[in-house]
Chains A and B, each alone.
Chain A
Amino acid sequence: MSLSRAFFAVIRRDLILALRRRSEIANPLLFFILVITLFPLGIGAQPHLLQAIAPGIIWVSALLAAMLSLDSLFRSDFDDGSLEQMILSPHPTSVLVLGKIIAHWLVTGLPLLIVAPLLAVFLGMPNHSLGILLLTLLLGTPVLSLIGAIGVALTVGLRRGGMILSLLVLPLYVPVLIFAGNAVQMADGGLPVDAQINILIAILLLALVLAPMPVAAALKMSMCDNIS
């Protein structure tokens, strides 16, 4: 009975589950691609405007795609009792939950990273800022999963928690959006972006350390009123 074994077993299990329920991976990704491809159609033939707002479009779409995928994080485990078993296991719930969040990011965040360069080119972003865009996505999307997990854990016991979830989580997403969007914009203009990247790294590290514990506590709280 080792903690690392349990941790990796949770990640492995969630990845297998995601493979068997492919629509759940495809949904946020498809949403991300659709929103971004619709923008040029809506704006019309104004390549400079499009180029100027490209970082914002990509980041806002990534943020909404992340929100869309959040509910699947704990829903099925909550409904079929797997979550009860995780909470009852002698391992700290926060570590197991971190495993679930990492698996969730691998399934919903990583695919965004892979298609983002293509969509950036599509929006006419200059090549020299592609690297920074990818770096901000790499640092930012895990934060979206980690912070989102707190919101989901708080609302998973409610039957219609969707609205409350977005109200809870969106304000907390704003710092990531500001610094990531700003970094890409500065890179577009050829300016240094060290400060923004450092702040994103700091946010990621803080979230990685601080998020799992409130998630575990919130899950236990959600469990307490669930009589079934």
Chain B
Amino acid sequence: MAMGIALQLLFTGLGIGSIYALVALGFVLIYRATNVVNFAQGDFAMLGAFSMVVLCIDMQLPYWLGILITLAAMLVFGALFNFAVYYPLRNRGFQPVIISTIGASLLLENGVLAAYGPRPQTLPGFLSFPGFSVGPIFFDSQYLLILGVTVVMVTLQHFIFERTLLGKKMEATSQDKEMASLLGIPVALMIMLTFMYSSALGALAGILVAPILFVSVGMGSSIALKAFAASIIGGFGDVIGAIVGGLALGVVETFGAAYISVPYKDAFAFIVLVLFLLFRPQGLFGEKVAEKA
């Protein structure tokens, strides 16, 4: 029984953790490209989920088409976001850009509230079966799907950054913009591509999580807070760190809730965050903060 409980908690923790990881990936990519934190990252997830509700519930399109349209629209949205929120302020240091992303986040949430109303929406799961039990453990099919997609996205991302010319250009941009532009890399284009990819990635996280957490205006910001903590634990700016940080956070809070205290579930995530900031500010995989400054 005790073993069964621990395994159940592990599975749920990994499932919820991989949602944090997907959103954290978006944080990390934009941070690497622009050195700013995009506080609207969670709202990309919210937009993706709402888009699915509009396309697949209201307009009755099949899921695959809804997902394709949503992701394509979010690529365009990412480019617009780049031009409206980041580009005009790119030479003003990081504070104006961060405030600009917070403003964008408020605008997006209240815009969707005004357009779609306050009622939370449901999106049925993507798989036809709810899940299956092995002994005392229940495997929720949606969590399995999220875990699977996370693995695929991480592999794909790793391949793009390590093996393709485009990825190497983006990597070079994030490491040293001046040097990259001297080498003839179109820096502004690379940054725009990063915003486009991050926005589609955020939307994908939102689409995946919608059947579990429902679709509401505030859904993105609550996930984003944990994802932000996850990316710091992983070492801000590190892709593998964001994944490990997200998964670890999910597992820690699930076990903490079960064995220590349920009402303090959210606190465990932030206790871990504070411990990391105190004792290992560079995170699990990050380089020394001094080198980045």
- Same complex: no
Chain B residues packing against A (C-beta within 8 Å): none
| Contacts from A to B (Cβ < 8 Å) | none
